[in-house]
Each structure stands twice: as C-alpha cells, then as structure tokens.
Amino acid sequence: MSSSHELASTFSPAEIEAPLYEKWIKAGYFTADAQSSKPAFSIVLPPPNVTGVLHIGHALDQTLQDCLSRMKRMQGFEVLWLPGMDHAGIATQNVVEKQLAAGGKSRHDLGREEFVKKVWQWKEESGGAILGQMKRLGVSVDWTRERFTMDEGMSKAVVTIFKRMHDAGLIYRAERIINWCPRCLTALSDIEVEHQDDAGEFVSVRYGEGEQSIVVATTRPETMMGDGAVAVHPDDPRYKHMIGTEVLLPLVNRMIPIIADELVDPDFGTGAVKVTAAHDPNDFEMAMRHNVPFVVIMNEHGVMDGTGTEFDGMDRFDARKAVVAKLKEMGRVVSEKRPYIHAVGHCSRCETTIEPRLSKQWFVKVEPMAKAAADAVRNGLVKIEPEELAPRYFDWVDNMHDWCISRQLWWGHRIPVWYGPNGEVKVIGSDETAPAGWTQDPDVLDTWFSSGQWAFSTFGWPEKSADLAKFYPTSVLVTGYDILFFWVVRMMMMSTFAMDGVPPFKTIMLHGLVRDQFGKKMSKSRGNVIDPIEFMDKYGADALRFTLARGANPGTDQALAEDWIGGSRNFATKLWNATRFAMMNGATVEGDLPPLENLNEIDKWILSRWSQTCLQVTELLENYEFARACETLYHFAWDDLCDWYLELSKETFASGDAAHSQRVLGYVLDQLFRVMHPVMPFITEQLWTALTGQESLVTAQWPKADSSHVDKKAEELVSQLQEIITEVRRFRNDQGLKTSLKIPGRFIAPAHIAKYASAMAFVVRMELGDITASAKCEAAGVVVEFDLTGSIDVVAERQRLEKDLATASKDKQTAEVKLNNQGFMAKAPENVVVEIRERLEKTTSDIARITAALAGLPKA
RNA sequence: GGGUGGUUAGCUCAGUGGUAGAGCGUCUCGUUUACACCGAGAAUGUCGGGGGUUCGAAACCCUCACCGCCCA
C-alpha cells in the first residue's frame, strides 16, 4: 500500500474537505449526461434567494438532496441535481435600496436602468458567496447547469409562458382590492402578507341623526369618509325596519344607504358595519353585490387624500386619532375599546401594515390550474411525503384566490404587455417586437411567477431540449413545508400547464425547519441563530450534515445545538480511528470473501449484522427516513463494529492467524463507507480510498445486502458473549478492580462458548488458567470463576446480587400474572405465550442461582 | 373562529397492540494494543389528566387541559 493511503493519526476535517471537493469537480462526477442510457434521477435545487447567505435551513435542505443524489448515483442512475438561485424580486430590491439609502439616495435618483444595473452588480457578489458556501457543504450539484431565475433562458421562458397563459385566458387585468405595501409601494399577493395580532382599537360611532341613526363598530374609523353604505344582516330585528333607508355619514355629510347582506355577523360589534368599498376586501365584495360606490380616500403612501376635509394630508394612523377625536367632539362616539387585539396584515418583507387598496393589476385565474395541481396529487401521480402533510396541500389548492402577479418594482421580469397610443393592449412574445410608439407595462412579475417554472424552464424549455426529455419530470422535490404554498403549489400549477399535464415531480418530500436547542425558532432578535459555516469550520461539513440528517424526521421540525454537532464530529473521529486500527491490523479488500463455513462466529456475526443494517438503511433512505437511517448506521458503526466486533477480534488479530477476519473487516468497512457516503461524503471518501486504494466512492457501487449472511445462530452466540462480558465487567466494577489488573480466572461453559474464552478474556482483562476460585459470577448459563486471592468485597457483591434478584423477581412476577390470566392464555397468540413461558423459566432459574450465590457468600 | 400537529428520562426527540428507547447531560471508575473527540458501569419515566375498547394500551376510540403551526 502506498504512503498516500496512510491515515493521519488525528482526523482534521478542514484538511481533507476542500481538496476532496475540488477532486470531485475536476473529475466531473456531478455532470449529468442527457444522452446516458442509465435511468434518470433528477432534482432541482430549491433556489436560494440571491439576497442571503446560506443559513442552516439551506444546509438541511441541501444535505437531504445530496444524500439522495449521491445514493442514486451509486445505484446506477444518471443523476442530475440542478443548482441555481432566485432573483427574489422585492427582497433583493429592498436590500439594494437600503444600501442606496445609506448614501442618501433613492432608486429614483438613479433611474430604472441604472438601478437594475446596480442590482445585477450586487447579485454577482452576493450570489458568489452562496455558491461558495454550498461547495463547502459538499453538494453534488451539476455546476455546468447552474441557472438563475433572471438569466436569458428563463427570461425568455417567462415571456413565453405569460403569453401562453394569457392566450388561454388564464391571465387577466382587473381593478381589484389588493394588498398594498405603502412603504414598498407595490401590490403583494396574499402569501406575501403576514397576519399578526396587533393592539388596535374598536370604536362605535353613531351615523345619522335622531330616529334615523345607527351605530357602527369599526377598527378603522379613519376610512369612514370613504363609506358608501352601512350594512346589517337581513334578519336582524334591530335594523330590519331601516334597510333601504339612508343615514347621514358624519364628517363628510353625505347620505349613504343601509343595505342588508348575509356577510354581516349580527353578533359582531353592534351588528352594523360600515361599507368602505375601496379600502377593504370584504366591503369590496358587498359593494359589488349592492352597487355601492367606491370612494377612494387615501393615496399610495397611505396618506389621506381627496376627502375634502381637514384630514387630507395626514398619515392614516394620525388620521385615525384625529378622526376619533373629532367624532368625540361631535358626541358621536358611543364606545371605545383600546387596546383591541386583532389580526392585521403586514408586508412580509418590511413589516409595514398592509393597506387594502383598489388598484388595477394583473392576475392569474388560478382555478383550472389549481384543480390540475390538486388532481395530480389526488390521482397519485404526485406523492407527498410524509403523506400527513397532504391535507394541508389540498386545503390550500382547493381554496385558492386569484393570484395577483404584477408588482410595482424594478427588479424582476418586466410584464411583456405593451400599450398602444389608442388604448390597445397586447402581449408581446419573446420572438416579437412591439410596434413603434407603444409603451411597455412598467410593472414586473411576482418572483414566484418565474420560480414557478423552475422545474422545466431550467431544462431549456420552451426548446425541446435533451435535458427536458431525459430529466423531466424530476424525481423528487425536497423542500421545507413552509414554502409548500409559496412555491410548490405554483410549480405544480405552472409546470402542469406548460408541460401538457405532466406535473413537475413524482414526489414532494417535505422536511421541517431547524430550530434552536430548545425548539425555539431561530431569529436574529433572539440571538439563537446557528451559522452553518461557523460550525463547519469548527466540526467539519460531515459532522454538520450528519447532525442535520439525523434530526430529519419526516415533516417535523428539528432542534439543533452545538453539542449535537460536536457529537457527530466525535462519531467521525471514531470512524477515523477505527479505520486506522483496522488498517494497522491488516484489514483488506483484496481477494474474495472466505467461504462462510470457514469463518469464526464473530466474523459471521458482524456479516449478519451488516447484511441487515445495509438492507434497512437502504430502505430507510429510499423512503426519506433520514433520521432513522442515520441512527441505524450510527449504532452499527459505533456499537456493533467498534465496541463489540473490534474488541472481540483483538485477540484474533494479536494471534497472528487472522487472515479471514482481516478480509471480513475490510469487507464490512468497505460496505459501510459506501452506505454512509451520502450522509458523510468527505470522511468516507478519505477512509475508503485509503482502505481500498481505489479512485472514488462517488462513482462506486451501492452495496446490495447479502441475505445469505444473515446468521441467527451467530447472533445468538454473540449476544451470549455480550451478556457474559457485561456481567464480568459489572462484577469487576462493583468489586472496584482496576482495569490494569489482570485477574486469573476461568469460564465454565459449553464448548461453543468456551471456544471464545480467550477472546472474552482479552476483552475483560482475565488471565485464563487453572485457579482456586474465590469468587464467581454467572450469565447466559456460563459461570465465570475468579481467583481474587481470597478477598472479595462481600458487601458490594451482596448488593449486586440482591439487585439482580429484585429484577429477576419482578420479571418473574409479571410473567406469572400473564400466564395465570385465562383471557391471556385463551386469546394471546402462540408465539407470545411461548415467549412469556420462556421468560418464566429463565427468571425462575436466575432466582435459584442468585439465591444460592447469596447463601454462599461469607457473612459480612 | 376554522384547520392541523404535538404533550414519552434533566434537555431534544424516536417508538402505530406483547417486559419503555436514543443522543446529549448527570454520577462512579478507568490511560488495557485504535480513539479522553475515549472506554466500562450506573441512575433517571404513574409515556399530559380522565374515561373506554382489549387477555394485554405510550400506541386504538371518546373527552378535557395545555403548547405549537397554518389559514381567516
């Protein structure tokens, strides 16, 4: 073996990770071949926003995708994992505007063209940082196919699909109440609005005079000047006689009708509500039904405008106070409740309170697309994992409102609609040019309109590309449940529309969010944010990946703490040291595995354990059960392999006659590294190449569990050896015998166990020989005698035995209760009854043995 | 208000009908031919409360309480 294959005596991830990643890229392992005859496996990476840095949620998302990609690659699939980034319209524009603001400028100072140029510049820097962080994590993406939602190809695709949807009647322009952010000065879709409980006020105001008056209750008194009616429930006896009459609207002295609408809840407030058609979505609906006029009283900045009153020019919140004060002065305020806690919408990007605003915008008619998206899942064409999350999906797609897609921003795909001098409106396709003198719609499209195309445009659509043919639909979408509605639903809708009814993925695999060690949401204000880069620096990428994958139970959030990552690093170190030890002892992958019948039981046992572990882990990974897969690997590697197999084999290795075990150990490590590689790619690559002398695990074959290795007899034997060893260790511990002290002793055991006496003796520091026994312990039917040269700690030994006796007695009792229960005997299945009978027998003989041992102890 | 997930060891979580588990933490001991980022041993639970189904319930059903998330 050449010196390059030797392992350093200590494991330092920082030294191996970067060079290995470079090696993989150089070798082109991650570059997919659309012409390949292998079956395809494809994933599109949920594109991170260019605004950000890689956060721990990305690290989780990408780790899981990398696990799948690497496993599938090893299983012989042609794997394409396509990376890229999202231009994140409003978020990015906000970031760059903030930078400008620091220099005292606004985007208007630069003008549209200059500003967009500036954003592109910024994108280059920020995007580069994210890519570097992804490489750090070890992602096996195909960098040659990297995309950006605003690159040339995707821009063309956006225009193309806009036109197609428009032609199909799925895109229309209308004046509607939309969510408006008075700070960002743009329309927002429903999902860009976050509802929070705010402390507002609830004011009851008397409209009209004398007999002809009615008290309305509202949280937004400042909008009353825009009222077009007062609405009551049609069956409300308090107001029935007033329906159809008019009342005086104070402040503006306008007469407005009292209308009846089922939407009004008679139990809410006074049962009478103001109808402000231009400033509230519910009122808008009612107004449409009853022909109530739309009175706009606020401008785009949320400043009162056009009321013709003293309030014009006031900010909406100032106006609220002023209006109430004025109404009080007029004696019109009947009651006030303050604070009044109620849900209020906020801009998800800047937290400004949303202002519902009447405005002309572009919309997607979602109904037919949403139905197709829902049907794809209902018909089983697309599977949601874990399936418990499917109801949430249906809840959303079945009740979706039309989607407002125009944004009054500069950063994004400009809406491909042009307006002629005589009011003509035309969508201009990517291969068309607008007639001279026409002007383009100044607005851009919602970011999700372009990222909704991520699963097909990235493959070259609308061209009939080879990638599209080979890799669409993608195999699985891996993403957090938090963007199920934002993104996943939109991809389902747009892909299914564009790709003739073929949905974009076969499976949607949803994971949860990463939280802090107490399960709290990470946030800057809490100061509990975990930076993946910091922890990769400290513990290595493998440790972070393993921790994240190990915590990834399907669809649930996971807590994460530095200690957990440290634990995974310890695990990596354990693997490193175990491999060093194995190689020092001649572990090898040369030649065939010896015939099973030539192996000792310990070798057979580890092969049996591995065969089952390999099968389980493969199945678990295929089923997206990352946490359980990692747990299974962890316990195989640490417990079975390191704590038992290596320990039990030390004597064999020391004996010099270990050729079979060397080959078995080499085989198990070889296979283990393959199966662990998807989760911990760096360390496994390093160890495996050192062990095997081969080129790379990335392109190695995924092992197939060998069921002929399953050996229940060997497992039974080793479990007995474990029992005996544990018992001796316990005895030694209780007797306070130093580990360094070798104790003379012997095993009184049947031949098949006696065969492993020296292996056990090695582990428990016993010197085998003929002795004069002065103490003994017993387990698995084997008596172990020791020569303690007369003196044992009788008190400690009595305690130990009494404890065993108590345990055995309790177990015996529970077994007896069951066996004496007629119902149990009559109805429990045979195998359970047998098991309980055996337990009774064992506990009975244990009790006899322990009792005898206690009696045999000298009096204290 | 509607939906939905949860409540298991000090903490974070597995565990879909047959003697309660893991990681971390805690305690005791220990440098023995990989590893102190280690080894050995140990302690710790009326599985949220109450009711029901069952021979048998952490698990299934009902109900209550509390926590969380999504939507309005």
Over range A678-707, report the average pLDDT.
Answer: 95
Please answer whether residues A301 and A157 qualify as being in contact, where contact means their C-beta atoms are separated by less than 8 angstroms: no
- pLDDT at A4 > cutoff 50: no
pLDDT digits (tens, 9 = 90+) for A86-120: 998 888 888 887 888 888 888 888 888 888 898 88
The number of C-alpha atoms within 13 Å of A287 and in the hemisphere containing its C-beta is 23
| Minimum CA–C1' distance nucleotide for A653 | B33
| φ, ψ (nearest 5 deg) of residue A426 | -145, 140
- pLDDT at A860 > cutoff 70: no
Report the interhelical angle of A681-692 vs A13-27 (nearest 10°). 80
Confidence of residue A293 (pLDDT cuts 50, 70, 90): confident
Q: For residue A732, give both structure tokens.
A: 């030694």
Please report the pLDDT score of residue A267 as a whole number: 78
- C1’ B9 / CA A416, Å: 62
Please report the pLDDT score of residue A40 as a whole number: 96
Neighbours of A781 (CB within 10 A): 15
pLDDT over 70, % of chain A: 99
Domain boundaries defined on chain A: 186-356, 533-710, 723-856
Three-class SS state of A257: strand
A206 Cβ contact list (under 8 Å, min separation 6): A213, A214, A215, A332, A333, A334
Please report the pLDDT score of residue A859 as a whole number: 66
A574 touches strand B (CB under 7 A): yes
A811 touches strand B (CB under 7 A): yes
> What would you report as the CA-atom Rg of chain A, rounded to the nearest whole angstrom?
36
- C1’ B11 / CA A517, Å: 8
Task: Based on DSSP, count helices (H) and strands (E) in chain A, helices before strands.
Answer: 27, 29
- pLDDT at A788 > cutoff 90: no
Please answer whether residues A493 and A366 qualify as being in contact, where contact means their C-beta atoms are separated by less than 8 angstroms: yes
* CATH topology assigned to domain A186-356: Isoleucyl-tRNA Synthetase; domain 2 (3.90.740)
pLDDT digits (tens, 9 = 90+) for A620-673: 999 999 999 999 999 999 999 999 999 999 999 998 889 999 999 999 999 999
| Minimum CA–C1' distance nucleotide for A516 | B12
A75 touches strand B (CB under 7 A): no
Please report the pLDDT score of residue A284 as a whole number: 82
| Minimum CA–C1' distance nucleotide for A807 | B19
Amino acid at the residue A353: T
pLDDT digits (tens, 9 = 90+) for A191-242: 778 887 777 888 888 888 888 888 888 888 888 888 888 888 888 888 888 8
| Minimum CA–C1' distance nucleotide for A574 | B35
Higher per-residue pLDDT: A544 or A823: A544
A569 touches strand B (CB under 7 A): yes
Please answer whether residues A446 and A407 qualify as being in contact, where contact means their C-beta atoms are separated by less than 8 angstroms: yes
| φ, ψ (nearest 5 deg) of residue A378 | -60, -35
Over range A75-85, report the average pLDDT.
Answer: 96
Please report the pLDDT score of residue A1 as a whole number: 36
Inter-CA distances, A283 with A264, A273, A341, A784, Å: 10, 9, 21, 87
Query: Any bridge partners for residue A246, and if so which?
Result: A257
Which of A836-843's residues contact partners 24+ apart within 8 Å by CB, and which partners?
Answer: A839/A811, A839/A812, A839/A815, A840/A812, A840/A815, A840/A816, A843/A808, A843/A809, A843/A811, A843/A812, A843/A815
Q: For residue A282, give both structure tokens.
A: 């519910």
Distance of CA A349 to the CA centre of its chain: 22
- C1’ B39 / CA A114, Å: 66
Please report the pLDDT score of residue A126 as a whole number: 81
A751 Cβ contact list (under 8 Å, min separation 6): none
Over range A375-389, report the average pLDDT.
Answer: 88
- C1’ B34 / CA A392, Å: 51
Nearest C-alpha neighbor of A613 from the set A636, A642, A579: A636
pLDDT digits (tens, 9 = 90+) for A716-726: 999 999 999 99
- pLDDT at A5 > cutoff 60: no
- C1’ B62 / CA A395, Å: 26
Confidence of residue A2 (pLDDT cuts 50, 70, 90): very low
pLDDT digits (tens, 9 = 90+) for A479-533: 998 888 888 999 999 999 999 999 999 999 999 999 988 888 887 777 788 889 9
Q: Does domain A533-710 have CATH number 3.40.50.720?
A: no
A577 touches strand B (CB under 7 A): yes
Task: Count Cβ neighbours within 10 Å for each residue of A287-313 and write b for 16 or more, e otherwise.
Answer: beebebebbebbeeebbbeebebebbe
Over range A605-628, report the average pLDDT.
Answer: 95
Higher per-residue pLDDT: A221 or A79: A79
Please report the pLDDT score of residue A709 as a whole number: 96
| Minimum CA–C1' distance nucleotide for A821 | B55
A567 touches strand B (CB under 7 A): yes
Q: For residue A775, give both structure tokens.
A: 């103490």
Q: For residue A601, give both structure tokens.
A: 């039981």
Query: Where on strand B do bases come within 7 A of a protein Cβ?
Result: 3-5, 11-15, 18-19, 22-25, 28-35, 37-43, 54-56, 69-72
pLDDT digits (tens, 9 = 90+) for A842-859: 888 888 888 888 887 776
The number of C-alpha atoms within 13 Å of A756 and in the hemisphere containing its C-beta is 24
Q: In A 512-531, which Cβ lie closer than 7 Å to strand B?
A: 515, 517-519, 521
C-alpha span between A76 and A737 (Å, rounded): 54
A3 Cβ contact list (under 8 Å, min separation 6): none
Helices (H), A637-742: 647-655, 659-676, 681-692, 712-734
- C1’ B34 / CA A647, Å: 10
A684 touches strand B (CB under 7 A): no
> SS in 3 state form for A166-221?
HHCCCEEEEEEEEEEECCCCEEECHHHEEEEEEEEEEEEEEEEECCEEEEEEECCH
Please answer whether residues A143 and A24 qualify as being in contact, where contact means their C-beta atoms are separated by less than 8 angstroms: no
Nearest C-alpha neighbor of A685 from the set A63, A2, A96, A5: A5
C-alpha span between A453 and A471 (Å, rounded): 15
Confidence of residue A3 (pLDDT cuts 50, 70, 90): very low
| φ, ψ (nearest 5 deg) of residue A550 | -70, -25
Length of chain A (residues): 860
DSSP annotation of A81 reads E
Residue A658, H or E segment: none
- C1’ B40 / CA A730, Å: 8
Q: In A 417-456, which Cβ lie closer than 7 Å to strand B?
A: none
Nearest C-alpha neighbor of A696 from the set A22, A37, A8, A66: A22
pLDDT digits (tens, 9 = 90+) for A162-175: 999 999 999 999 88
Three-class SS state of A606: helix
Q: Mean pLDDT for chain A?
A: 89
- C1’ B37 / CA A551, Å: 20
Confidence of residue A793 (pLDDT cuts 50, 70, 90): confident
